[in-house]
Amino acid sequence: MKQDNKEYMKYNLSYDLNEQSLISPLDSISPLFEPKIRLGILASGNGSNFEYIIKSIQTKQLYAEISILIVNNPNCLAIKKAIKYKIPYVIINHRDCKSRFEHDMLVMKKLEDFSVELVVMAGWMRIVGEEIINKFENRLINIHPSLLPSFKGVDAIQQAIDKRVTITGCTVHYVQKEVDSGLIIIQAAVPINENDNKETLKKRIQNMEHIILPLAIAKVAKNLRTKFKDNK
């Protein structure tokens, strides 16, 4: 069937929109603050978000230094990135601990030893306990590959595909006791295309994660610095 011009225009417009992603809040430029914020990064996997935090520091979009990378998995690729960029790292393997509590305590001690101000869970595939959450109240953030509060927990990208939602995305949020439930700092929306599979969608979501996570860190750091000034 021949489409009339109007239909064709409409199709073109929606096609173009399909290629776009949206970050919100829209005014999300990296805010300025000083002094530098000392970050502790927790990672379990490939470490692509970890690497983009490093890059945003190198390009001076983020005024921070990474005091320590903590990984729970001795085989995770984040370690290779720490070596490449000469970032201190430590492996705290949860399999060597008798309980989640013991593991949490070791992680917390390391964060304190390195005077970490802001903790970033960048692909940390473990639930953190109340002790860490309380110790780093308003200073512990997580990135999750969905538009929370949809698709909490494991395999969020597959959950979105299975539900046939047409827009998903990623979220940076504060960490609280209930998993993936803390207050939201910044989100990016990513359309799901008809021919997407988990890998193609994951790639586009992660492209957005690499933008919003450094932005979120800067926003939180700015808040922490402002609060500190007000208390003086």
Helix (H) or strand (E) segment spanning residue 142: strand 140-144
Indicate whether 209 belongs to the interface with ligand GAR (CB under 6 A): yes
Chain position whose Cβ is nearest to ligand GAR: 123
The C-alpha atoms of residue 119 and residue 217 are separated, in whole angstroms, by 9
Indicate whether 40 belongs to the interface with ligand GAR (CB under 6 A): no
Q: Which of 142, 223, 135 minimizes the C-alpha distance to 186?
A: 142
Least distance between ligand GAR and beta carbon 45 (Å)? 3
Task: Collapse the DSSP code of 37 into the 3-class scheme (helix H, G, I; strand E, B; otherwise coil) and give the result.
Answer: strand
Q: Are 144 and 49 within 8 A, CB to CB?
A: no
The C-alpha atoms of residue 44 and residue 54 are separated, in whole angstroms, by 17
Q: Could you tell me the two tokens for 28?
A: 């999300």
Indicate whether 201 belongs to the interface with ligand GAR (CB under 6 A): no
- For residues 78 to 117, the per-residue mask of contacts with ligand GAR, x marking binding by CB under 6 A and - elsewhere, is ----------------------------------------
Indicate whether 48 belongs to the interface with ligand GAR (CB under 6 A): yes
Indicate whether 214 belongs to the interface with ligand GAR (CB under 6 A): no
Q: Are 51 and 206 within 8 A, CB to CB?
A: no
Beta bridge partners of 99: none
Least distance between ligand GAR and beta carbon 98 (Å)? 24
Touching ligand GAR, residues 113-152 (CB under 6 A): 122-123, 143-145
Task: Write a three-state SS string for 125-156.
Answer: CCCCCHHHHHHCCCCEEEEECCCCCCCCCCCH
Indicate whether 158 belongs to the interface with ligand GAR (CB under 6 A): no
Least distance between ligand GAR and beta carbon 129 (Å)? 16
Active site residue 144: yes
* Residues labelled as active-site residues: 144
Residues of the shown chain interacting with ligand GAR in the complex, contacts defined by CB under 6 A: 43, 45-49, 122-123, 143-145, 156, 170, 206, 209
